[in-house]
Homo-oligomer: A and B are copies of this chain.
Amino acid sequence: MIAQELDTNDVLMFAFMNREALRLTAERGEAVYWSRSRSRLWHKGEESGHIQKVHEMRLDCDNDVVLLKVTQLGHEPGIACHTGRHSCFYQRLEGGRWASVEPVLKDPERIYK
């Protein structure tokens, strides 16, 4: 599922949902994903505090991808990525290589104590 920032339209991250995650997201108004690495529901921000408030949910034409319009909350708002960056899409293709082009806003060691 795609999380897009409401005010800027920036794409913040991509993560998976199962049916239960989708239900909880709609119910709570906060993003809940399915963590494939941990095989469990993952309430985004449960460790980092970087909660995503969900304003709108969209579904695509073949009914298998959801787009969330969110506000990225937290002690320092606007950080969606576990690397401490605004967006997970911080690598840009430049001359055949992926270059990191977005600043780290908060040290991950301070996010995950």
User: Which residues of A approach B to under 8 Å, CB–CB?
Assistant: 2, 4, 8-11, 13-14, 26, 56-63, 65, 67, 81-83, 85, 88-93, 96, 98
Cα separation A95 to B112 with both chains bound (whole Å): 36
Chain B residues positioned under 8 Å from A91 (CB to CB):
58-61, 63
A82 touches B56 (CB 8 A): no
Partner of A56, one of B83, B92, B96: B92
Chain B residues positioned under 8 Å from A96 (CB to CB):
26
Chain B residues positioned under 8 Å from A81 (CB to CB):
61
Partner of A59, one of B13, B59, B60, B98: B98
Cα separation A98 to B92 with both chains bound (whole Å): 34
